[in-house]
Structure 1
Amino acid sequence: MIPLRQLPRLLRIAGVLARHRVDELLPASRRPRSLAWLRALMPAPGADLLVLPRGERLALALTALGPIFVKFGQILSTRRDLLPADVADALTQLQDRVAPFPAAQARAAIERAFGATIEARYASFDDAPLASASIAQVHAATLADGREVVVKVLRPDIHARIDADVALLRALAGVVERTHPSADKIRPQAIVDEIETTLVNELDLQREGANASLLRRNFAGSDDLYVPEVVWSHTSAGVLTLERVRGIPVDDLAALDAAGIDRVALAEKGVRLFYTQVFRDNFFHADAHAGNIWVDATRPADPRFIALDFGIMGSLPERDQYWLAENFLALFNQDYARIAELHVRAGWMPADARLDELEAAVRTVCEPYFTRPLSEISLAEVVVKLFEVARRHDLTLQPQLILLQKTLLNIEGVGRLLHPRIDIWATAKPVLERIWRRRSGPRAVLRTLRRRVPEWLAAAPDMPQLVHGWLSRANAGEMELRVASDDLKEIERRLRHGQRVAIWLSAGVSLAVATACVALLAPAGAPPGARWVAWLLGAAAVGAFALAARRS
Structure 2
Amino acid sequence: MDRVPAHRMLLRACALGVAAVVESAVTLPAYACVRVVAGRSRARRLVYRRLTRRVQALGPTFVKFAQIAGSRRDMLPPDLCDELSRLHDRVRPVSRRQAERAWRRAYGRPVPPFLARLDPGPMAGGSIACVYRGVLPDGRVVALKLKRPGIDRVMRADLALIRRLARGAERLSRLRGMPVADLVGYVSEAILGQLDFQREAANIVTLRENLARVPDVDIPALHPELSRPTCLVFDYIPDLDAGTPQALPDAVRARLASAVLAAAHKMMFVDGFVHCDLHPGNVYVLPRGRAVILDAGYSVRLPEDVRKLIGEFFTCLALGDGRRCGEIMLASMADAPDAGRPGHAPGRAGEAFVADIAALVERSAGPGRAFDMASFGNGVFEVQSAHRLYAAADFAFPVMSLMILESTVRGLWPGVDFQQVGSSAGC
Q: Aligned partner of 2:273: which letter?
A: F
- Counterparts of 2:302 and 2:192, CA distance in 1: 20
Equivalent positions of 1:399-418 (< 5 A) are 399-418=393-412
Q: Equivalent residue for 1:59?
A: 52
Q: Separation in 1 of the partners of 2:67 and 2:331? A: 32
TM-score w.r.t. the length of structure 1 is 0.65
Structure 2: stretches of 5+ with no match in the other structure: 1-5, 340-345
Q: Are the equivalent residues in 1 in contact too, given 2:330–2:337 (CA < 8 A)?
A: yes
Q: How big is the shift at 1:195? A: 3.2
Counterparts of 1:365 and 1:143 in 2: how far apart (Å)?
Answer: 55
State whether structure 2 residue 145 is matched by structure 1 residue 152.
yes
What is aligned with 1:386? 380
Q: Of Structure 1 and Structure 2, which has the larger fraction of its residues in helix? A: 1
Q: 1:101 pairs with 94, 100, 117, which one?
A: 94
Tell me the equivalent position of 2:19.
Answer: 13
Aligned position for 1:143: 136
Indicate conservation of the 8 Å contact 2:135/2:142, yes or no: yes
Whichever residue aligns with residue 369 of structure 2, its letter is L
Q: Larger deviation: 68-77 or 386-395?
A: 386-395
> What SS does structure 2 have at the residue aligned with 1:137?
strand
Q: Which has the higher contact order (CA 8 A, sep 6+)?
A: 2
- The answer on 1:204 being equivalent to 2:199 is no
Q: Structure 1: how far apart are the matches of 2:284 and 2:53? A: 27
| Residue type at the aligned position of 1:14 | A
Q: 2:248 and 2:30 mapped to 1: Cα distance?
A: 54
Which of residues 236, 245, 249 is equivalent to 1:256?
245
Structure 1 residue 40, shift from structure 2 partner: 6.9
SS in 1 for 2:76: coil
1:365 aligns with 2:351: no
Cα distance change on mapping 1:340 and 1:68 into 2, 3 Å? closer
Give the TM-score taking structure 2 as reference length: 0.83
1:270 equivalent to 2:260? Answer yes
Q: 1:256 to 1:123 in 2, by over 3 A?
A: same
Count of equivalent residues: 407
Structure 1 residue 394 displacement after superposition: 6.0
Q: CA deviation at 1:74?
A: 0.6
Matches within 5 A, 1:475-514: none
The 3 A distance-change label for structure 1 pair 421 and 204 is same
- The answer to whether the aligner puts 1:233 opposite 2:222 as a matched pair is no
Q: How does 1:75-474 map to 2 (within 5 A)?
A: 75-115=68-108, 118=111, 120-178=113-171, 180-249=172-241, 251-252=242-243, 255-260=244-249, 262-298=252-288, 303-343=289-329, 348-351=336-339, 352-354=346-348, 357-369=352-364, 374-375=369-370, 377-386=371-380, 388-390=382-384, 392-393=386-387, 395=389, 397-425=391-419, 427-428=420-421, 432-433=423-424, 436=426
8 A contact 1:349–1:396 mirrored in 2: no
How far apart are 1:331 and its partner, in Å?
A: 1.7
Q: CA deviation at 1:239?
A: 1.0
5+ residue gaps, structure 1, are: 22-38, 441-552
Identity %: 29
Counterpart CA distance in 1 for 2:63 and 2:401 is: 19
Q: What's the CA shift for 1:215?
A: 0.9
State the 1:191 CA deviation. 3.6
Shifted more, 365-374 versus 277-286: the winner is 365-374
Contact 1:380 1:408 in 2 (8 A): no
Change (3 A) 1:294 1:183: same
RMSD over aligned Cα, in angstroms? 3.4
Query: Structure 1 residues 353 and 51, CA, compared in 2 at 3 Å: closer, same or farther?
Result: closer
Contact 2:182 2:392 (8 Å CA) reproduced: no
1:310-330 CA-partner distances (Å, limit 9, x unpaired): 111133111111122112112
Aligned amino acid, residue 162 of structure 2: L
Give the secondary-structure state (helix, strand or coil) at the position aligned to 1:161: helix
Q: 1:323 to 1:175 in 2, by over 3 A?
A: closer
Quote the offset at 1:198 in angstroms: 2.0
Distance 1:84 1:42 in 2: 17
Larger Rg: 1
8 Å CA contact retained: 2:372, 2:418: yes
Paired residue type of 1:256: P
- On the 8 A contact 2:331/2:338 being kept in 1, the answer is no
Shift of 1:229: 0.5
3-state DSSP class of the match of 1:120? coil
Aligned counterparts of 1:373 and 1:282: Cα–Cα separation in 2: 28
* Cα distance in 2, alignment partners of residues 114 and 98 from structure 1: 25
The CA distance in 1 between the partners of 2:301 and 2:388, in whole Å, is 24
CA separation in 1, counterparts of 2:30 and 2:270? 56
Aligned-partner Cα distance in 2 for 1:386–1:118: 51
Amino acid at match of 1:113: A
Q: Classify 1:79/1:238 alpha carbon distance in 2 versus 1 (closer, same or farther; 3 Å).
A: same
Change (3 A) 1:205 1:4: closer
Report the AA paired with residue 418 of structure 2. I
1:138·1:151 contact (CA, 8 Å) conserved in 2? yes
DSSP-derived class of the 2:233 partner = strand
Q: 1:222 to 1:44 in 2, by over 3 A?
A: same
Distance 1:151 1:368, change over 3 A: same
Counterpart Cα distance in 2 of 1:216 and 1:409:
23
Deviates more, 1:262-271 or 1:182-191: 182-191
Distance 1:6-1:369 versus aligned 2 partners, 3 A rule: closer
SS of the residue aligned with 1:138?
strand
Show CA shifts across 1:153-211 (max 9, x none): 11121122213322432443354345x11444234444432332222111111211211
- Provide closer, same or farther for how the CA distance between residues 43 and 63 of structure 1 changes in structure 2, counting only shifts above 3 A: farther
Residues 190-237 of structure 1: CA deviation (Å, up to 9, x unaligned): 443233222211111121121111111112254231000101012122
Relative distance call for 1:59 and 1:226 in structure 2 (3 A) is same
Tell me if the contact between 1:278 and 1:315 (Cα under 8 Å) persists in the aligned partners: no
For residues 458-480 of structure 1, what are the alpha-carbon distances to aligned partners after superposition, in whole Å with 9 as ceiling and x for unaligned?
A: xxxxxxxxxxxxxxxxxxxxxxx
